[in-house]
């Protein structure tokens, strides 16, 4: 495979019906010409030598695939810019999720909502995410990753800002549900990002995205500490929408996936994107024609996810993602409940059973959120050595052990340390799932595959408030036992996954 400088003549994939040039093939020391033909004129005569060669899949030296181009152009300035854009999207998502742990107690003290209504405030967001995940996945696979993310950014900012001025609890539920609907598109940013990453750097870079998630969570806790006690939760919701506005503004400059363009037959657009990568990374462009590698698959087909070759992988991943979300958001909500549960209630208006979060509560939440950073780097090290499947299985077991330790002490320092360890483990685990899933699905099904997993994850997140906020008030042991059972079951599911994707190219 040769290289060419950016701006030279482009090559295009030969589509069905196009004339194919004559190729001289050396067989057993002799040069045998293989005649060209037009596919519409019927198949040419097949010689024994041609029949033998037809059984071998060979990519000619004058062609290249998107995978080969991305690997050859390497990681550079193009990927750095994309990392910042996608990272901002993850920060905004993280802030909208973290605010749920603060919003419930604030609404209880301000509007007198019950425990079940607090849980419903969280559940409605995840319901919107679950209902929209497959929709966004199909939209991304049919019309592109970029248009979907652009629409997502605009809707997120609009509904997030309107939530701050909701006149009643019913309106707040509706608007937060619409926020959840828009957030359902955020996982598609990982699909777009992963499709531009070289094989060697892909796992590390996708896991490092969690740094932006952790940064957003820490920023939201710090913002809540500065704003909520003085200005109230409305100002907190409004100011939390600021990163969403920035993301909505920059989405028109996001690149479209070259893999998506090739799958749609838009080779000219794919080549333009690859040439831009070459310019940004200061690498010579590959020389030859861009071709599609792999078999044709219906784009955005949910039914294809349950085909014979993918059924086992899909069902196991759905359960793993559901368990990830159930355990992760359960821990986030439990942290608030455990920290505020040992204080006496105060009277706020007509609400006697009111537990407003104190400065110490916010600081402890900040410490446990910071645990995601070491969890990220530990996951990278372990995943590159053990592989995706074993890493996820081990982290589920470790998480289960951590939550069971929560029943052994009521000391605030000990609780903070246990929650710190558990938060780091489950955060890294969630990112490992985000690495594995885009790798195991082909390009034509990648967005809908990630979207389907995200939808099942939201199902787990919808159920977790009734364990972390309701059942926990009755029995801490019962609540953590539920999380322990899910963690162990998901660990077994990870080991049953049929494919290990470490070191492999992304499926075409």
For every one of its 508 residues, what pLDDT tens digit does the chain have, with 9 covering 90 and above? 555 444 443 433 333 333 334 444 443 444 444 444 444 444 444 444 443 333 333 445 578 888 888 888 888 899 898 888 888 888 888 888 888 878 877 887 788 888 788 888 888 888 888 788 778 877 887 888 888 888 888 898 899 889 999 998 889 999 999 998 888 888 778 778 888 888 887 777 877 777 888 888 888 888 988 888 888 889 998 888 888 888 888 888 888 888 888 878 888 888 888 888 999 989 888 887 877 765 555 555 667 788 888 889 999 999 999 999 999 988 888 887 777 655 444 444 444 566 667 777 788 888 888 888 888 888 888 887 888 899 999 999 999 999 999 888 888 888 889 999 998 899 888 888 888 888 888 877 877 788 788 878 888 888 888 898 888 888 889 999 999 999 999 999 999 998 887 766 555 4
Which helix (H) or strand (E) element contains residue 353? strand 351-354
What is the pLDDT, as a whole number, of residue 301? Answer: 64
Q: What is the DSSP secondary-structure string of 22-35?
A: -EEEEETTEEEEE-
In whole angstroms, give the CA distance from residue 102 to residue 333.
Answer: 9
Q: Please give the Cα distance from 59 to 288 (Å, whole number).
A: 11
The distance from CA 480 to its chain's CA centroid, rounded to whole angstroms, is: 26
The bridge status of strand 63-64 relative to strand 289-290 is parallel
> Has this prediction a pTM greater than 0.75?
no
Q: How far apart are CA 160 and CA 239, in angstroms?
A: 9
Alpha-carbon torsion angle 155, 219, 217, 478, nearest 10 = -120
DSSP 76: S
Listed in sequence order, the residues at least 6 apart from 396 whose beta carbon sits closer than 8 Å to its beta carbon are: 323, 327, 429, 487, 488, 490, 491, 494
> In sequence order, which residues have a C-beta less than 8 Å from that of residue 223 and are 6 or more positions away?
95, 236, 239, 240
């Amino acid at each position: 495979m040769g290289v060419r400088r950016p701006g030279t003549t482009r090559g295009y994939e030969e589509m069905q019906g196009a004339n194919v040039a004559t190729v001289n093939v050396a067989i057993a020391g002799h040069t045998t010409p293989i005649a060209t033909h037009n596919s519409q004129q019927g198949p040419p005569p097949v010689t024994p030598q041609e029949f033998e060669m037809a059984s071998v899949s060979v990519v000619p030296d004058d062609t290249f695939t998107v995978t080969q181009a991305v690997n050859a152009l390497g990681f550079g300035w193009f990927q750095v810019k994309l990392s910042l854009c996608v990272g901002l999207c993850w920060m905004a998502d993280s802030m909208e999720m973290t605010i749920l742990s603060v919003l419930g107690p604030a609404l209880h003290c301000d509007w007198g909502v019950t425990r079940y209504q607090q849980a419903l405030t969280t559940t409605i967001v995840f319901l919107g995410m679950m209902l929209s995940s497959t929709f966004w996945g199909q939209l991304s696979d049919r019309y592109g990753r970029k248009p979907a993310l652009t629409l997502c950014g605009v809707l997120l900012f609009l509904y997030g800002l309107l939530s701050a001025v909701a006149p009643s609890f019913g309106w707040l539920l509706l608007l937060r549900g619409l926020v959840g609907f828009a957030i359902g598109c955020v996982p598609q940013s990982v699909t777009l990002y992963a499709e531009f990453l070289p094989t060697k750097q892909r796992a590390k870079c996708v896991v490092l995205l969690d740094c932006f998630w952790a940064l957003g969570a820490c920023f939201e806790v710090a913002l809540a500490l500065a704003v909520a006690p003085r200005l109230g939760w409305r100002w907190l919701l409004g100011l939390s929408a600021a990163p969403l506005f920035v993301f909505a503004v920059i989405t028109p400059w996001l690149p479209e996936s070259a893999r998506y363009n090739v799958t749609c037959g838009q080779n000219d657009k794919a080549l333009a994107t690859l040439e831009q990568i070459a310019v940004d990374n200061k690498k010579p462009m590959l020389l030859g024609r861009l071709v599609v590698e792999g078999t044709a698959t219906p784009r955005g087909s949910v039914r294809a996810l349950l085909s014979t070759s993918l059924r086992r992988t899909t069902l196991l991943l759905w359960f793993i993602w559901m368990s990830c979300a159930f355990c992760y958001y359960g821990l986030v909500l439990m942290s608030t409940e455990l920290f505020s549960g040992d204080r006496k209630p105060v009277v706020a208006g007509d609400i006697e059973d009111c537990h407003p979060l104190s400065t110490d509560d916010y600081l402890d939440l900040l410490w446990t959120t910071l645990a995601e950073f070491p969890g990220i780097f530990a996951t990278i090290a372990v995943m590159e050595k053990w592989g995706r499947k074993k890493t996820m299985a081990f982290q589920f077991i470790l998480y289960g052990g951590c939550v069971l330790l929560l029943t052994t002490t009521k000391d605030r320092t000990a609780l903070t340390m246990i929650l710190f360890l558990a938060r780091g483990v489950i955060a890294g685990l969630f990112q490992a799932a985000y690495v594995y899933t885009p790798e195991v699905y082909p390009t034509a099904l990648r967005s809908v595959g990630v979207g389907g997993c995200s939808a099942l994850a939201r199902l787990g997140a919808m159920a977790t408030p009734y364990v972390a906020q309701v059942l926990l008030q009755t029995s801490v042991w019962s609540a953590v036992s539920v999380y322990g059972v899910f963690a162990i079951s998901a660990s077994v599911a990870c080991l049953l996954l049929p494919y290990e994707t470490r070191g492999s190219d992304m499926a075409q």
